[in-house]
Chain A
Amino acid sequence: SQQGEEDPQALSIQEGENATMNCSYKTSINNLQWYRQNSGRGLVHLILIRSNEREKHSGRLRVTLDTSKKSSSLLITASRAADTASYFCATPPYNTDKLIFGTGTRLQVFP
């Protein structure tokens, strides 16, 4: 079963534009993570935000978390063609160590 759902399912933008993708989840969590997957490859961890944090930055990435709405957003600023990939949010249901992934957003950045 999927814990999270991302939207939009697909997003196409031009290089230099910002990309925003959203994640909603179902249960209480201790943290939320974002991963990236290039076509045909394994997933790579991008950023982790804990349940007591509201915003976190890493390079061109900005993540927000609203535990009252059970939602998170990932913003990629000044996108590049190399950012083309699928992006997934992942959460551990409360008091568990397993990570449950969402359905993903497929981002296409055109040069």
Chain B
Amino acid sequence: GAGVSQTPSNKVTEKGKYVELRCDPISGHTALYWYRQSLGQGPEFLIYFQGTGAADDSGLPNDRFFAVRPEGSVSTLKIQRTERGDSAVYLCASSLVISGANVLTFGAGSRLTVL
């Protein structure tokens, strides 16, 4: 597609529920990143994929968070037993290598509110 698409744009859930957030990257971008951003803060790295495999998942805060990218394109971030502290905007980005560096194109984000 023309840009990175994230769905849903807004999700309100209750504490303890399971949530899935979807990211559809730019066609042909092999790398895909997930970040979390709280109000007034910079994006916090969660995980990134190179193709189908998670190249670095060091930012996932605990084992309630999991992400997959089974066919090397669309990715899903899964959060189990949600907590109020999980409320944030979850940003997805895909990347193109420019001058030997990964330059990220971001989606508009999925705003998660846990009540």
Most buried by A among B4, B35, B43, B108: B43
A93 CB → nearest B CB, Å: 10
- Report Cα–Cα, A96/B42, bound state, in Å: 19
CB pair B99 A50 closer than 8 Å: yes
- Interface contacts (Cβ under 8 Å), in number, total 67
- Report Cα–Cα, A100/B59, bound state, in Å: 10
B45 CB → nearest A CB, Å: 6
Task: Give the segment of A40-48, A66-74, A76-84 that binds chain B.
Answer: A40-48
B30 CB → nearest A CB, Å: 11
- Report Cα–Cα, A106/B102, bound state, in Å: 24
CB pair B43 A98 closer than 8 Å: no
Q: Is A30 an interface residue (CB 8 A)?
A: yes
- Report Cα–Cα, A96/B50, bound state, in Å: 12
CB pair A96 B56 closer than 8 Å: yes
Chain B binding site: helix, strand, loop or mixed by DSSP?
strand
CB pair A103 B42 closer than 8 Å: yes
CB pair B56 A98 closer than 8 Å: yes
Contact of B109 among A42, A48, A88 (CB under 8 A): A42
- Report Cα–Cα, A61/B86, bound state, in Å: 36
- Report Cα–Cα, A58/B109, bound state, in Å: 27
Q: Is A2 an interface residue (CB 8 A)?
A: yes
Other A-B pairs beyond A31-B100, A50-B99, 11, CB < 8 Å: A41-B108, A42-B108, A43-B93, A92-B101, A96-B56, A98-B59, A99-B33, A100-B45, A101-B44, A101-B45, A102-B42
Task: Please report A residues at the B interface, Cβ cutoff 8 Å.
Answer: 2, 30-31, 33, 35, 41-45, 48, 50, 88, 90, 92, 96-104
